[in-house]
A and B are shown apart, each in its own frame.
Chain A
């Protein structure tokens, strides 16, 4: 059992604050680090991986700092988003070298085991430089898994993967989570995180925004005031019918555009067609005004 802990941690680069007073604890199982691009996910992972010192606060693995502590890599496995590897090596040579650097007793056997885990045995004798992006990602994964780490950190592991590779990685990570290993991966796609993670940590603009299992995060994201623009056969009648219901927070009718502010997503979704039918108004178009992921995230931060 291994636990990563970030306590009151900040990291700035010159005048730019990348991580702002974040505290979180990541235990066994699969945790997803969710946030829009530029939220500081990679910086957090680099801090956890011991590649960066925190400007303030502490980052520890089972109580020991990860910065300036190469011994931590006996427990940690890291898959970075950077593509660069030793392109002049074959896949097998790269993974064997990793096994040797970890001081494993039988590097060859460990490498074969890791390559089998990511289904790269067939391509192991080709040069890494000739691999596709997905294959590179998998051989890097094999290299990170070769010492059978208790903790696995992955930065945007699903980027550039086709659906089949994605499914394979999901199975692999699920297996590791079920074995009681600590797996942390970052992503900017809610569905991806939802599908895999037991625990989700949301960061926005370098700050901790929310955490919980996917149900809680989903609820936080959907049960918030929603804005819709509606085009109907009679906007005025529809507006007056909607405003009568308590789940409508506000209605405006400007320049022939009807905007409705709903208090709660689910109730409003059910209310709108019913009200329209009763008032004999045809709905021509209903579009959410603020459904971008960014606005969802910023809503989470405001609360």
Chain B
């Protein structure tokens, strides 16, 4: 971890328009919760279903895509990454520092609003905590996956969008086997284990889910550092 890189990344990622976009998305989760609460009677199960559909299926992948790519993609695109690469700093340190900022951003702007939405929908403390834990797990994994994707390919946003929209929402709902490779299912498994019994069901067992979350997170972080170490800056002449 390097404080200077954390500071530069946070300034670059959250200064300017991206912060407004993320803030607006965060507000939207809360607004949906408030509107639902005002318009229809909501049971604990309804709340869980809504959070699952809105926060887990849509917002978290989208946030992960924005912060995971946003932490490093602009610098790679315009070449300003040389400022970091031309320094005696381990590439793993660069990746870890940027990842910290991405996870911080997703926690503040997606995990906390998800928990807030749960509270607004009238969910009990246990359910709120369960969705918070699940959202944090999903947010962390999405952040690192999309950050890795950005270091590996210039088409990270397209591939990320296809994954977030197609794989997580569509393929998962038609092909049961695909669900065990869905970050959303891993996160739901974490939520299921904390929430009151029967409220949330996940297709992946808790042990497998935790293993995949932790293993995937560590492996992707390490591999992103390795790939950054061999990132070539294309010559322009």
Q: Which positions 113-143 of chain B face chain A at CB distance < 8 Å?
A: none
Q: Contact between B88 and A74 (Cβ–Cβ < 8 Å)?
A: yes
Q: At the interface, is chain B mostly helix, strand, loop or mixed? A: loop
Q: Contact between B15 and A84 (Cβ–Cβ < 8 Å)?
A: no
Q: A80-B79, A102-B88 are in contact. Are A52 and B233 (CB under 8 A)?
A: yes
Q: Which positions 157-186 of chain B face chain A at CB distance < 8 Å?
A: none
Which residues of chain A are within 8 angstroms of B91 by Cβ–Cβ distance?
A: 70
A293 to B: closest C-beta gap in Å: 15
User: What band does the interface of chain A fall in when counting residues whose beta carbon is under 8 Å from B?
Assistant: 35 or more
Q: Contact between B84 and A101 (Cβ–Cβ < 8 Å)?
A: yes
Chain A 84-113, CB-CB to B under 8 Å as 1, else 0, gives: 111011000010011011110000000000
A177 beta carbon closer than 8 Å to chain B: no
Chain B 24-59, CB-CB to A under 8 Å as 1, else 0, gives: 000000000000000000000000000000000000
Which residues of chain B are within 8 angstroms of A37 by Cβ–Cβ distance?
A: 237
The closest CB in chain A to the CB of B91 belongs to A70
A43 beta carbon closer than 8 Å to chain B: yes
B89 beta carbon closer than 8 Å to chain A: yes
Q: A71-B88, A73-B88, A102-B87 are in contact. Are A51 and B80 (CB under 8 A)?
A: no
Q: A53-B230, A85-B83 are in contact. Are A42 and B236 (CB under 8 A)?
A: yes
Q: Contact between A98 and B235 (Cβ–Cβ < 8 Å)?
A: no
Q: A49-B86, A51-B85, A78-B86 are in contact. Are A84 and B80 (CB under 8 A)?
A: yes
B8 beta carbon closer than 8 Å to chain A: yes
Which residues of chain A are within 8 angstroms of B7 by Cβ–Cβ distance?
A: 97
B153 beta carbon closer than 8 Å to chain A: no
Q: Contact between A97 and B4 (Cβ–Cβ < 8 Å)?
A: yes
Q: Contact between A103 and B236 (Cβ–Cβ < 8 Å)?
A: no
Which residues of chain A are within 8 angstroms of B16 by Cβ–Cβ distance?
A: 88
Q: A68-B230, A84-B78, A88-B11 are in contact. Are A76 and B86 (CB under 8 A)?
A: yes
CA distance A70 to B88 in the complex (A): 5
A29 beta carbon closer than 8 Å to chain B: no
Q: Please tell me the number of chain B residues within 8 Å of chain A, measured between CB atoms.
A: 31
Q: A52-B232, A97-B4 are in contact. Are A82 and B79 (CB under 8 A)?
A: yes
Q: Contact between B237 and A82 (Cβ–Cβ < 8 Å)?
A: no
A15 to B: closest C-beta gap in Å: 15
A46 beta carbon closer than 8 Å to chain B: yes
Chain B 208-236, CB-CB to A under 8 Å as 1, else 0, gives: 00000000000000000000011011111
The closest CB in chain B to the CB of A67 belongs to B230
CA distance A162 to B91 in the complex (A): 37
B205 beta carbon closer than 8 Å to chain A: no
Which residues of chain A are within 8 angstroms of B78 by Cβ–Cβ distance?
A: 82, 84
Q: Contact between A89 and B11 (Cβ–Cβ < 8 Å)?
A: yes
A175 beta carbon closer than 8 Å to chain B: no
Which residues of chain B are within 8 angstroms of A41 by Cβ–Cβ distance?
A: 237
Knowing that A38-B237, A46-B235, A101-B5 are A-B contacts, what are 9 other residue pairs whose CB atoms are under 8 Å apart, sorted by A's residue number? A41-B237, A43-B235, A80-B79, A82-B79, A82-B80, A82-B236, A97-B4, A97-B8, A102-B88
B binding-site residues for A, Cβ under 8 Å: 2-5, 7-8, 11-12, 15-16, 78-80, 82-91, 229-230, 232-237
